Amino acid sequence: MTDTNLASLSGADLREMFRAASRWLELNKEQVNAINVFPVPDGDTGTNMHLTMRSTMEETDRRQDSEAGAVLAAMSHGALMGARGNSGVILSQIVRGLALAVEGVAVLDAKALAAGLQQGSDTAYKAVTQPTEGTILTVIRDVASAAGDNSNGDVVALMAAVVDAARDSVARTPDLLPVLAEAGVVDAGGQGLFVLLEGMLRHLRGEAIEGEAAAADGSLEKEFLSVVEQHHQAEESPYGYCTEVLIEGQALSVDDLRERVLAMGDSVLVVGDESLLRIHVHTDDPGGLLALGTDAGSLVQVKVDNIRRQAERFVELHQKRDEAAASLSVPESQISFIAVASGEGLAALFRDFGCSQVVSGGPTMNPSTRDILTAIESCPTDEVLVLPNDKNIIMAARQAAEAAQKNVVVVPSRSVPQGIMALLAVNPEEGLDENARAMEDALTDVCTIEITTAVRSTEIGGVAVEKGQTIAVVDDELKVASSSPQEALDTALDALTGESTSLITLYYGAGTTDEQAQATADHLRERYAGHEVEVAAGGQPHYLYIVSLE
């Protein structure tokens, strides 16, 4: 499209403008990921927004409506179902507001577009319980204001003003949010929105969206799964972990990655193309493959199975809680429980504690609204309780609950230990609302420590971090940067343990061996002699340990 004095947009025009925006974000999503404030491997804002836009476009392409209002209605549904993470949910609400403002409209002129952006801003703000300025919310509000001031001209002039406003607003986000200023970055969600708007303007001006990534061939999955099955039917591997990752990126080198993976173990498969690769390997170092994946691109999916212990996983876990766990066998006529977890061990744990559905997801792999809604619909009861177990999944869970045809309550658990503690508070004799209140009250009875590796250098809350250091995150706040996992964990626990705490539980991740975890547990038993220490294989990516302190 090259008309620089475009009076209005048809449904087809809108579809292609959004497609260009989605492609532009895809090309720039790693830059958005890289400016996440937190130095842990959850830099996924760009990926979440891109996946949300992908779902948006899939829905409108499926319907092929001709009127602008109908196209935006389809986009709104696609965005709602595909929303991932807080940024994706907020983006879906912006699209929803656009659609609501122009319902029934055949073509979109500058005034209608300005009205849509204003309602998009209003809808996004209403979706957030406690709106924070200096985020994507501020940027869409400034964008809507600029659109209103420039709605008397043509669409291209309005979009040019909108892009300028978005750029300036993003640049000001550190002035509004101290944690951004401290880390020396702008807001990632706001930057993602700017990239989308810039992509739209480039399309309207006829500028090329350079280097468009090829769509993933659906045969990739079929080919991969078929060959994996053959490998698993072959002779038993001498390695301990069956590890699979799906990587998105730009100019991924299949040959280079295959050569590096071959050095990690056996049963190696590397299939795909330069934009999407799936890798399978049997290895003793699954963490090495995860690190390789994050170096090459973005991890979209991760699966780690303990080959040797899969059948007996968690037999000894939480022996002293058997009675409490058994009490969660709530009759089917009452309540179903859903948990979000990443790692086969953690998924098995939540099933042991009574969850009928476990949705795969966590840091960098936030499930979509559709994923959670599908789990809700699969539950055998009309009353459902959902545990997101991650602060970035709560909004998508609530959006799924609103879309469901069942009575659904989201208990806002922000970590795996909080989710487990909430399940321990369930009383099978009580109803949905009573259990929801008890579960939410129980969230404060546990402290969560997450041990991982910093992916960028920064300073947050007075804690200076160098890329590659081990860090301890306590209840979502960076507290320790250290040279080793043990030192980071000790420092965090030293500040938290006392007369009011008695139980430390280690859930060790895919990057930690059984021997390392047991050695850590033995060390903690000696250092914190007044505490009981339990250990279990969680299999989670990214975090060497997730630690529960009660």
pLDDT of residue 487: 95
Identify the CA nearest to 78 among candidates 140, 13, 131, 15: 15
Domains and their CATH numbers in the chain: 8-204 (1.25.40.340), 219-306 (3.30.70), 319-442 (3.40.50.510), 447-549 (3.30.1180)
Specify the amino acid at residue 421: M
CA 22/CA 12 separation, integer angstroms? 15
What is the Cα–Cα distance from 525 to 101, expressed in whole angstroms? 61
Low-confidence ranges of the chain (pLDDT < 50): 211-235, 310-333
For residue 307, what pLDDT is reported? Answer: 59
Q: Is the distance from CB of 79 to CB of 91 less than 8 angstroms?
A: yes
Q: Which two tokens stand for residue 341?
A: 């977890």
What phi, psi does 490 have (nearest 5°)? -60, -45
Instruction: Return the DSSP state at 57.
Output: H
Q: How far apart are CA 31 and CA 116, in angstroms?
A: 28
Q: Give the whole-angstrom CA distance, residue 157 versus residue 178.
A: 34
Which residue blocks in 210-273 are alpha helix, DSSP H? 219-233, 254-262
What's the CA gap between 407 and 385, in Å, rounded?
9
In the sheet where 532-537 sits, what is the strand order? 477-482, 470-474, 447-453, 543-549, 503-508, 532-537
pLDDT, position 460? 87
Q: For 75, how many CA atoms within 13 A lie in the half-sphere containing its CB?
A: 30
pLDDT of 212 reads 36
Tokens at 233, concatenated: 């039917």
Its pTM surpasses 0.75:
no
> What pLDDT is stored for residue 1 in this prediction?
58
Q: Give 156-196 pLDDT, tens digit per residue.
A: 999 999 999 999 999 999 899 887 887 777 888 999 999 99
Task: Tell me what pLDDT residue 42 has.
Answer: 59
Q: What is the pLDDT of residue 215?
A: 30
Judge whether 29 and 52 are in contact, CB under 8 Å.
no
Asked if residues 117 and 144 have their Cβ atoms less than 8 Å apart, the reply is yes
Measured CA angle at 161 (ends 159, 163), to 5 deg: 70
> Closest Cα to residue 268, out of 249, 301, 299, 244?
244
Q: Which letter does DSSP use for residue 30 in this model?
A: H
CB 92 within 8 A of CB 370: no
Q: What is the DSSP letter of 224?
A: H
